[in-house]
Amino acid sequence: MNIAIASDHGGFELKQRLIEHYKTKGQRLEDLGTCSTDSCDYPDIAHRMVKALRDGQADLGILICGTGIGISIAANRFKGIRAAVLYDDFTAEMAKKHNNANIMVFGGRTMQFEDVVRRIEIFLNTEYEGGRHETRLAKIEEGVA
């Protein structure tokens, strides 16, 4: 499974730690930037991730900004994108199980590294249930231009 990761300046340090962590586990995360703590605009980063998913460069994404809120709003503006802020273990499970999210979102200034790693693992090890959730996801797509 190809997983892309991207952040703005507020999530840069967490992004770098995650890349290194998963590298030691044999999992390469495709780094879509940013490349420093210099200020940048989170919508640009979210758009880069959306393009990577749409072009098949990645199967799933991880986005990080200061809180996770702004970058998730920017990503969710696009059809087919379901970016969820995984603020606790339960939401990490439900984002996949019920919402079939394709982007995990974290706050670089609001979440601890160990919690983020655990939530990524919960998400990756949870199966989408489908069924009644398919109808609900289709309704979301109807409302997106």
Catalytic residue selected from 21, 47, 98, 133: 98
* 3 state SS for 25-91: CCCCEEECCCCCCCCCCHHHHHHHHHHHHHCCCCCEEEEEECCCHHHHHHHCCCCCCCEEECCCHHH
Angle at 64 between CA 16 and CA 125, to 5 degrees: 85
**Residue 9 designated active-site:** no
Q: Is 65 exposed, middle or buried (0-12, 13-18, 19+ CB in 10 A)?
A: buried
Strand order, beta sheet including 60-65: 29-31, 3-7, 60-65, 103-107, 83-85
Q: Which positions are annotated as active-site residues?
A: 98
